[in-house]
Structure 1
């Protein structure tokens, strides 16, 4: 998770936009309270939940039509740090769509988180 993202990190992260009312009663897929739910215009989503059934904090993310992944964390600090890095890594995956390296990027993402 300490991979250097490069100079495009802020641009990759700033493109994400909040999703309003994305979950009934603000309860996410892990049955926790949704604290962050954002979508990238190129086709990805990331959701941060507190108090789900599997862990104190969880991050579920994916690239539409390609992958979905959930990672679990013991603290809000760790989960929010992961969200920041995951956003940049998901943007890199979207940038690689159609290339030979897409599956390597997805495999590394899942292994890292």
Structure 2
């Protein structure tokens, strides 16, 4: 389900938050999670997106916190893709996801 984006070619490059990409994972059903260190706003940031639905950035202080957060996001997004939802339910899920992260 989750694979490295571009076969890992993005690791070590500069991401959208101007930090070094240390994790860049893409879900086969259309989502991406990117963890950067040393960006402009915070020591760590995670950009998350479900293609065609939303894009969100979460700012974190430590690597441990960041790794835990990205794993939680992977699980939530995977569950979302495995659940049949109406457009209203999808909208509610997005709002809840963003408010938690």
Report the TM-score when normalising by structure 2. 0.88
- Cα distance between partner residues in 2 of 1:97 and 1:60: 25
Q: CA deviation at 1:87?
A: 0.6
Structure 2 counterparts to residues 6-85 of structure 1, below 5 A? 15-19=1-5, 20-22=8-10, 26-85=13-72
Gaps of 5+ in 2: none
Greater RCO, CA 8 A, separation 6+: 1
Q: Which residue of 1 aligns with 2:91?
A: 103
**Secondary structure, in 3 states, of the residue corresponding to 2:97?**
helix
Q: CA deviation at 1:89?
A: 1.1
Q: CA RMSD in A?
A: 1.6
Q: Which has the higher strand share?
A: 2
Report the TM-score when normalising by structure 1. 0.80
Whether the 8 Å contact between 2:44 and 2:63 is mirrored in structure 1 is yes
State how many pairs are aligned. Answer: 98
Once superposed, which parts of structure 1, at least 4 consecutive aligned residues long, lie more than 3 Å away? 95-98
Gaps of 5+ in 1: 1-14
